[in-house]
Amino acid sequence: MIRIMKYGETAVDEIFARSVPEVDVAAVVSGIIADVKARGDAALLEYCEKFDKVRLASLEVSPAEFDEAFAAVEPEFLDVLETAAGNIRAFHEKQVRQGFVMSRGGAVMGQKITPLDKVGLYVPGGTAAYPSTVLMDAIPAKIAGCGEIVITTPPGRDGRVNPAILAAAKIAGVDRVFKVGGAQAVAALAWGTETVHCVDKIVGPGNAFVAEAKKQVFGRVGIDMIAGPSEILIVADGNSDAQEVAADLLSQAEHDKLASAVLITDSMALAEAVQTEVERQVQLLPRVEIASASIDRNGKIIVTDSIDQAVEVSNALAPEHLELCLDNPFDYLDKVRHAGSIFMGRSCPEALGDYLAGPNHTLPTGGTARFYSPLGVDDFIKKSQFTYFTRDALGEVADKIAAFARKEGLEAHARSALSRFGEV
């Protein structure tokens, strides 16, 4: 049962506690990465047989498999994918940034924007398939202008990738898809194998092993963030509907036994009604075992003295998804400092953001919304600076460069500036 806590009367550690994996995955992941580095495709095929219970003849999805998958997806769902892709594209096109040039006297400086050459998108499999993640990760990369976009995702026991994932990949403009998941997929993207060539950056959510693998290969390649279990935090006033709030909490609880669902409200009556509704609704879910474990372990309802205090507690938690189920949500938007994605009002369930609205659903978790942002076009570009000075312009500042360098004890720096003017 989801717990009710009164803020100010419950230990702070209990209110702000987050679930962590029960096993230390670092050593396991380190071994997998080393094995993939050493043995390449052979290691990937063995891990696929071990973890995914299928023996593959080829790691890459063939053009024929793409065509078969696209034909197998219902036309009605293809229309849904196209609608979602259009909304995601329209939102992310607003994020495109331009370089700039500035000049003064004989000096010209600027910044140029360059898309990454090759990016790898990790798309989870296992207990569910996520074509939405394909769209959310691939479309910003496509808008950025990345040279090649590849996906790694676990195959099913039939040796095939879920048709909806392949249909989404085709709609989003993905170049290649590989049937490999887990830490071994991250290792392949970072170091390369005979079939899976290395990329410049790896993005996308995954389980604890995937997150740890991204952490361990960072520096060899770029990563978007180290994502943990999914989270939802709802700030709701007493006018909110308990049935709707409970349904939104469960929408994240069904993801993972480690997922967290939190309600913060200034109404004890709503808290008690939601507690009852969560217990009723969870039993109706196909993924009842997962959702129940999440609610029992990580679910909580925090009752505060006011909505202002509720927002303060939310900022301290810095949730992945934040719903403001309030009469006047825009009055509180500026008070929200830390949240991955914010859903405004009572008609904006988090599921809208997962699939169709347009803003990205690859988001910072575990409190990292304090310093990370949602995935976007900026994740798929890099910025370079350039500087040009005429000889006269350099002559005007050479003495200052030398003074600065000598203050730091770097005489060669000073001489490199002065050498243009016969002072070495």
pLDDT tier at 20, thresholds 50, 70, 90: low
Q: Which tokens belong to 299? A: 């679910």
194 included as an active-site residue: no
Please pick, among 92, 255, 321, 361, the residue that the annotation labels catalytic: 321
Kindly report the CATH number that applies to the domain delimited by 26-223: 3.40.50.1980
**Helix (H, G, I), strand (E, B), or coil: what is residue 321?**
strand
Find the mean pLDDT for residues 242-265: 96
Please pick, among 254, 320, 323, 350, the residue that the annotation labels catalytic: 320
Q: CATH says 3-19+229-358 is which class?
A: alpha beta
Is the per-residue pLDDT at 16 higher than 90? no
Is the per-residue pLDDT at 12 higher than 90? no
- Tell me what percent of the residues of the chain surpass a pLDDT of 70: 98
b/e per residue 369-404 (b: at least 16 CB within 10 A): beebebbbbebbbeeeeeeebeeebeeeebeeebee
Domain limits, CATH 3.40.50.1980, in the chain: 3-19+229-358, 26-223
Q: What is the pLDDT of residue 101?
A: 98
Is the per-residue pLDDT at 245 higher than 90? yes
Which of 324, 359, 331 is closest to 345 using CA atoms? 324
Is the per-residue pLDDT at 193 higher than 90? yes
Is the per-residue pLDDT at 355 higher than 80? yes
255 included as an active-site residue: no
